[in-house]
Structures are given as structure tokens and as C-alpha cells.
Amino acid sequence: MRFIADGMLGGLGRVLRMLGIDCSHFSGPAVQLLLIAKRENRIILTRNTRLKGRKGVIFISSQRIIDQLKELNQNCDIKKLIRPLTRCLICNVEIVPIDKEAVKERIPYYTYLHFDEFYTCPSCHRIYWNGSHRKGMEERVQSYLDALT
């Protein structure tokens, strides 16, 4: 199951990517959104009432992200899709391991000294590692998982 979030649900899209769920983002006109969704075989997530009720569209009425996540889960069971922290939060592409030496010149020296596992996005080349920010992200992921149970 693949999603595309419109401009009104960018935050939800980012959370879905954090959970490892394939969710791209598009903030242009609804006509283009419909074309992209069809071409890429994606389900549209929107708050746009003009798209409500259309085939391949899930209308999300909630305003808070945690409630949006619950609402989406009620529409289609997303729990089985969850693979936390496996996608680029920007590009939506699955991140892949990369050799420490290959990122040496692209990361802070302290990071190079204290961490051994690195991942990269094959699309935007952003580097990820399990730094101090990881604990906060894991806590957020857990709060989202708790909300879905």
C-alpha cells in the first residue's frame, strides 16, 4: 500500500515515513495530485473536501497528527506496513547502509569518532546515524504505535 499526502497533510506524511510507510508528498493542484496518484498507484490522503468520496482517496477530517494516524488506520490497517526509521524523511526512499569511510568527509568529526553504523538515502544522499536524536525519534515512534493499539 502506497500513499501520497497532499499539502494539508504534510505532517502526517512525514510521520508515515518515520514509521517506514511509503508516503510521498505533493502540494500542487488537486488535478496534478490525482494524476500522480494514478501514475504511481498511490492512495491520496487529503483534507480537501472537493476530493472527498473519490475513488482512491482517503479523506482525513482530524487536525491533530495522532488523530489523523488513528483515522487512517481505521480506513486501512496500516500497522502491518510499519517498519520504523527505514525511509528517508525527506524523499520517502528506503535508506541503505553505507560504509563509515564513505561518509567521513560528509559528517561531523565527533560523529565519525563515536558512531560506526551509517545509512544513506540513495535519492538525496542524506546521511543517517543512531545519534542522540535517535532516542527521541524512537520515543515518538512508540507513541504513534501505542496510539494505534
Average pLDDT, rounded, for the chain? 95
- The domain tally of the chain equals 2
Whether 73 and 9 share a structural domain: yes
Does residue 115 belong to any structural domain of this protein?
yes
Which neighbouring-strand residues pair with 24? 4
Whether 38 and 70 share a structural domain: yes
Whether 77 and 7 share a structural domain: yes
Does residue 90 belong to any structural domain of this protein?
no
Kindly provide the b/e burial profile for residues 9-46, where b requires at least 16 CB atoms within 10 angstroms of the residue's own CB: beebbbbbbbbbbbbbbbeeebeebbeebeeeebbbbb
Whether 77 and 101 share a structural domain: no
pTM of this structure: 0.92
Tell me what pLDDT residue 118 has: 97
Quote the domain boundaries for residue 19: 3-81
What's the mean pLDDT in 12-19?
98
Whether 101 and 55 share a structural domain: no
- pLDDT digit string, tens, across residues 30-52: 999 999 999 999 999 999 999 99
- pLDDT digit string, tens, across residues 71-120: 999 999 999 999 999 999 999 999 999 999 999 999 999 999 999 999 99
Going through the chain in order, the beta strands assigned E by DSSP cover 3-6, 23-26, 43-46, 57-59, 96-98, 118-120, 127-129
* Confidence grade of residue 149 (pLDDT, cut at 50, 70, 90): confident
Dihedral (Cα; 59, 33, 77, 75), 10-degree rounding:
20
Does residue 89 belong to any structural domain of this protein?
no
Whether 52 and 107 share a structural domain: no
Does residue 126 belong to any structural domain of this protein?
yes
